[in-house]
Amino acid sequence: MEDIKKLRNIGIIAHIDAGKTTVSERILYLTGKTYKIGEVHNGTAVMDWMEQEQERGITITSAVTTCMWGENRINLIDTPGHVDFTIEVERSLKVLDGAVVVFCAVGGVQPQSETVWRQADHYEVPKIAFINKLDRVGGDYYKVIIEMHKKLGANAAPVQIPIGKEEEFAGVVDLITGKAYLFSEKGDLDGLTEIPLPDNMKDLYSHWRHNLVEKLADVDEEVAELYLMDKQIENEQLKNYIRRATISNLIVPVVCGAALKNKGVKFLLDAVCSYLPSPLDVNLPKATNPDNGEEVALKPEDNEHLCAYVYKVMHDPFVGTISFTRIYSGTLTSGTYVYNSTVGKKERIGQIAKMHASSRELVPSGGAGQIIGLIGLKYSITSHTLCEENYPIALDKIKFPDPVISLSIEPSTRADQDKLGMGLQKLAQEDPSFQIRYNEETGQTLISGMGELHLEIIVDRLKREFKVSSKVGSPQVAYRETVTQEVKSTGKFIQQTGGHGQYGHVEIKIFPGERGTGVVFEQEIKGGSIPREFFPAIEKGIKEASKNGVLAGYPVVDVRVVLYDGSFHDVDSSEIAFSNAAGIALRDGLKRAKPVILEPIMRLEVTTPDDYLGDVIGDMNMRRIKIEAIDQKITTKIITGAAPLAEMFGYATALRSLTQGRATYTMEPSFYKEVSRDIMEKIIAA
């Protein structure tokens, strides 16, 4: 139990380019995990081990490693910042106990910062904030704290304040102890120099120390009592109160630094160990018995019943499949058998490994609270639960986002045909936000993902890892179809072929549904016009038919289908007959319910120098982008808006040429919106 108490499962999450991987590399160096600091810009970062990551200087896949800081063991996951790989953040947060959210002192709270913050909130993950790049021109610690309050609704509570700003950022003041520290030439790698609190910072220290205690008093009755009685709070006691409030998600401690110059990462590690929870401090996920749906209580102890969760799989050319697994209770031992309750199959645990990015250290077993790699599992993929066969346990699955963009793909040669299929299947197993489907009408294989970069990486991995040369078509938008009018519809499937025939007859109502609800099936049948055992087949027929709409063959979403009547035949009725009848009824009804096409709208943020504002806005208007706000930040303008994805292909190149390469943009899926009549006609004609 003492070991579990000193364990920290944390993730580094942030907007792209905030410095996540740089922070991770300093942590590895300071904890003695690596002997040389890897740099993202040189392609030598240990955590960015994929060739594509090293070439592009971005993180694509979440890498996990284990290191020691004092007596504490830290399992660290470095996640991507790019929105195309948001699934990596989602599944990492599902199994983490705490998160370090990195903010750029210049950029502040950026769009993807908000996305990862919401993801962490969804899984109730306690957070600490690290405000990075304080040595950069325009870096402002206090402005970022204000933005955290305004944009994230975060109860940000600084536990440090910086000494100096921008190029003169030289050290920090600890608000708990009142001590001031100066960094050496090598940052905090050579140790820190403790100095008396500078005179010009005494008022600032007093203000922010008071602010910290005040924030704790608002969320903790014990602190409130001491605060109202004007009693002195001891330093160690204050740390305990901060820890308690952080674990309860009531405050977010804030520390600062400049990771590239090795400044402040030691304090960050201290904060991780002091304030973020161990597996004993967090609420374990909801677990049920899959046989009867009853809730099962989990305890993070090695001698309890086994419950482990596979949150990610990766295909390694040398050892095969590696399943990244979080053990919530019990122990996993190599050479033993476990039960996969998600698919109802037994699995043999081959080898168990502690992961360090792409390398592995084999261990005989893994205990409660650990994050490990299991080598050689046959049936287990992302979101599957491993347990004991005589004590089945199931954990909730992760909800994956729907793809927004598709490409057609075909092998360059006939010899590549089989390799292409095998490679795509393996990549789809690894990444649930990547989907493959075969269009029977055109004979094309379509691959779908979260953005152009996502699919570009997929095609590149096919070439490098699976040695498949392929040709891809131009990107296609993942449109959807829905209805705007309520209709009634009848579906009959009657066949007589000698002997038993087929008979199914359904009456349904089709209603426009709420946005984001998909296809909802309900029954309102009175009496026994259709036996209940056929309801699942009718629902299956509705869901199958909704995969292809009546306008342009896009999936149908946001409709409510109500089964209200029908009839059956004692001998000839079957599940197939009712499934077909339901499909006929839906297709007929969709044609009469004034169907429309929905297009994905992206949330766009463009940062451009003031000089190019007119050109950028002119281009945005041509692309049907609805501009929502224009903000000033030093010498740049930040434009936010809602952009139709169909108009955004090749935008990176266009923006570069408009602004001589000086503007940048970020884009993430936001919502689906009905297209105008003229655009709908173009989509149908295509």
Whether 488 has a binding-site annotation, put simply, is no
- Antiparallel, parallel or unpaired: β 332-333 and 470-472: unpaired
CA dihedral 673, 674, 675, 676 (to 10 degrees): -130
Amino acid residing at 500: H
**Greatest C-alpha distance within the chain:** 100
Whether 230 has a binding-site annotation, put simply, is no
What is the CA 617 to chain-centroid distance, rounded?
A: 31
Whether 132 has a binding-site annotation, put simply, is yes
Element of type H or E holding 429: helix 417-430
Residue 360, number of CB atoms within 10 A of its CB: 19
- Antiparallel, parallel or unpaired: β 394-395 and 287-288: antiparallel
CA distance 240 to 377: 42
Tell me the C-alpha to C-alpha distance, in Å, between residue 172 and each of 144, 299, 318: 17, 40, 47
Structure tokens at 117: 């913050």
Starting at the earlier edge strand, list the strands of the sheet with 72-78. 63-69, 72-78, 7-14, 98-104, 127-132, 252-256, 156-158
CA distance 682 to 680: 5
Alpha helices in 31-101 (DSSP H): 51-56, 86-95
Whether 16 has a binding-site annotation, put simply, is yes
Region of residue 39 (left: phi > 0; alpha: psi -120 to 50; beta: else): beta
Whether 135 has a binding-site annotation, put simply, is yes
Whether 530 has a binding-site annotation, put simply, is no
Angle subtended at Cα 174 by Cα 168 and Cα 178, rounded to the nearest 5 degrees:
110
Whether 82 has a binding-site annotation, put simply, is yes
Q: N- to C-terminal Cα distance for the chain?
A: 63
Residue 314, number of CB atoms within 10 A of its CB: 16
Kindly provide the b/e burial profile for residues 102-134, where b requires at least 16 CB atoms within 10 angstroms of the residue's own CB: bbbbbbbbbbbbebbbebbeeeebbbbbbbbbb
Whether 220 has a binding-site annotation, put simply, is no
Partnered with residue 481 across adjacent β-strands are 556, 597
Q: Scanning the structure block, which residue is given the tokens 């000089």?
A: 611
| Residue 426 half-sphere exposure toward CB, CA atoms < 13 A | 18
Whether 122 has a binding-site annotation, put simply, is no
Whether 79 has a binding-site annotation, put simply, is yes
Whether 375 has a binding-site annotation, put simply, is no
Structure tokens at 355: 């992961």
Q: Scanning the structure block, which residue is given the tokens 């049920």?
A: 288
Residue stretches of the annotated binding site for GTP? 14-21, 78-82, 132-135
Q: Which residues fall in the annotated binding site?
A: 14-21, 78-82, 132-135
